[in-house]
Structure 1
Amino acid sequence: MRHIAIIGSGPAGYYTAEAAQKRWGDAVRVDIFDRLPVPFGLIRTGVAPDHQSIKGVARRYEKTALTDHVRFVGNVAVGEHVSVGELQALYDAVILATGAPEDRPLGLKGDDLANVFGSAAFVGWYNGHPQFAGLDPDLSGRHAVVIGMGNVALDVTRILAKTQREFTASDIVAHALDRLRASGIETITILGRRGPHNIMMTPRELGELGELERAIPLVDPADLPPIDEDAILEPGLRKSVTHLRSFAAFPESARKAKPIAIHFDFYASPKALLGEDGKVRAVQVERTAVMGGRPIGTGEIYELPADLVVSCIGYRTTPIPDVPFDERGGHFSNEDGRIAPGLYCVGWAKRGPSGTIGTNRPDGYAVVDLVAADIGGGADKRGREGFDELAEARGLEVVTFSDWKKIEEAEIAAAREGSPREKFVDIASMIAARD
């Protein structure tokens, strides 16, 4: 029998569990640990609440979770309730699938001002992550600045711009919906250091901006390269740039018809955040020129008014005591997924925040191949039986997948009209709902 511990119940964790089950069948037992009482990681708290079709991938993970070979061990924080070393003593392999839940620091003067947030925190706030449910952003001001040119920047922008009616089928949490209802935001500026040919925005997500009820996306035609240069782009990016060209072509009548303007500010590098009475009031920006693919400052400085700033410049993995960590890369130090004998990593914890949800599937299967080569028929370890004894001795309140299903039922029952669920946003309420 092989005993596998996977730390993290998001896509990377469940794809890895699926791979282990397919490889070893009845000869494996997999325990999937999560610090929260609820599974699915970024599917629940990272994917935008108005992208329910993407969240539907959790149904695939549920099939894996409901088998006898795979067990969800929720409400257990590895590194706090139990150490990685203790798990290594109990399991043949420990696989870190913790993702990259922390914001990459903005690192600018003024980034500690009030109403400046990283995207992990801000997205966690409107998605109901217990760690960020009390964030309390002030949306009463007129101007928001979103720093970054990827899909997360688009998600944040879209959420800030939508009407209440556009949230009908989403699972955005009530506290965020109430705050957005009273929002005074009139302009949202998306700030990027490079130009349109360097964005990381996918066509579907970018196209959604052009379909918003009360907001219009605007691009300065002067920022667009000659159209014949689009031919060298890969197809997805070419489609995205086509959307930008359509935004630049909106007539003046269309611009005046909607109360919220979304401005794409290309060739613009934030240099500092400026405040007043401890709260952000503006972003100081330097105009750039792209040379050899790198943005170079031109010395031209200007200010953008900003009552809210959300930085969407990337994520990093949370270090775990006694596990080697690559500070520069923001993930665990590893060689093709192997950290040390019996210790592995997968997904964003292995490679950093890159790729789509589906990218984690081949990654999960690859790390299981690595584990299989290392452990062979398995060692004489106790696995889940040993962990259960440890958990009982420490008084840990473990949440199982059947407990999660009760929590889910309670969330569905509490949903507002048209919404799939109303999430619990604190751990105590989650645990109480299972009883």
Structure 2
Amino acid sequence: MPKLYLQSLGCNKNLVDSEIMLGRLENYELCDEPQNADVLIVNTCGFIKSAKIESVNVILSLHEQRKDNSVLVVTGCLMQRYKDELVKELPEVDLFTGVGDYDKIDEIIFKKVNLFSNSTYLQNEQSKRLITGSKTHAFIKIAEGCNQNCSFCAIPSFKGRLKSRSIKSIISELESLITKGYFDFSFIAQDTSSYLFDEGQKDGLIKLIKAVEKLEGVKSARILYLYPTSVSKALIEKIIASKVFVNYFDMPLQHINDDMLKIMKRGTNKKALLELLKLMRSAKDSFLRTGFIVGHPHENEAEFNELCEFIKEFDFDRISIFGYSKEEDTRAFSLPQVPSKIINKRLKIIEKIVDQSLEKSFAKEVGKTRQVVITGQSSEGEFFIAGKDLRWDREIDGEILINESLCGKLELGKIYECKITQSLDKKLIATALKEL
């Protein structure tokens, strides 16, 4: 059996696409050593400059490691965005394809031809997929593309406009995964809260939530990448009322100053954002994740300071910070740029504030009892068992280290009631009380 090595870069939406390719290449044996692979695939990210650099470096590194007569395939967002340039500049690569043909990867390799379809690939009931990284959790992509016009983002230029999967297709995938033992799901898209807007339905995500709630076997679910202008109060209230969907609210704000929100083409203002955030925070055991961009064109010191003060004052559980990246095919590309030295200076300032905010979030968990799913041996070694708060998304929200069990040996994939006993360096220490 030929061997396959696949490296998926960037976001979890890319990971789903990589899993689609693995589903099509089921006749290959997966391997962890690129030098042993007959076929090597890199699913690239082309979102911002740092991601583009990482993608190219991985491609060149794999080329140096691979054996003679192996096939190196490059696919994904970077290839779609810069296909003409990269085909010319990367003679090390054997085959190229973009974001429209993940379900044809077997044909591409067999026929040894490049393929760039005009449309973005969208899953359906016939899509094969091999889930990686977990036996209990899966990411479910519900749409592709984006109709928003954020000044800093090039995604619509290479992913296209919003295209939603049907509810029937999503439910069919969930039913299949439940029979395989999966019970924890994260629903993702570029703009998840606009689901079915392309079909003229403004309550599409609420309809999907209702359909998911009818399934037996879904123990927890969460929605990622909510967009402020497509999130309704009715949607938030539906999530809060749900017995299946946890009160996990992931809404990248990007900024809080009204002038900056306008320049960034976010379609909202501080007052409207605060109303949504306060409603989210009112939910029992709510968990709020957000992200901000520092150094976007026209951001001055006063606006930056307002952002810093906002992060200090509002109780976020997790925060991602990005330095502005000047990207072609974006509205902000031609605007007067903030010097990189100033961006880096602001990043150092705001990262300290974010660290303090995260420490506060972890500390407030001490003494609380949480439902925790066992994920395996911890990053701290054999003395701890690793777990994930059932509210959290996979990997990005942290790790719970269980150092004591009052209910015997803990089993991988099982859910336990755990008491948080300590917060240490952005990790939680816990005691397992009983199996749920």
TM-score by length of 2: 0.28
Q: Whose relative contact order is higher, 1 or 2, with alpha carbons under 8 Å and at least 6 apart?
A: 1
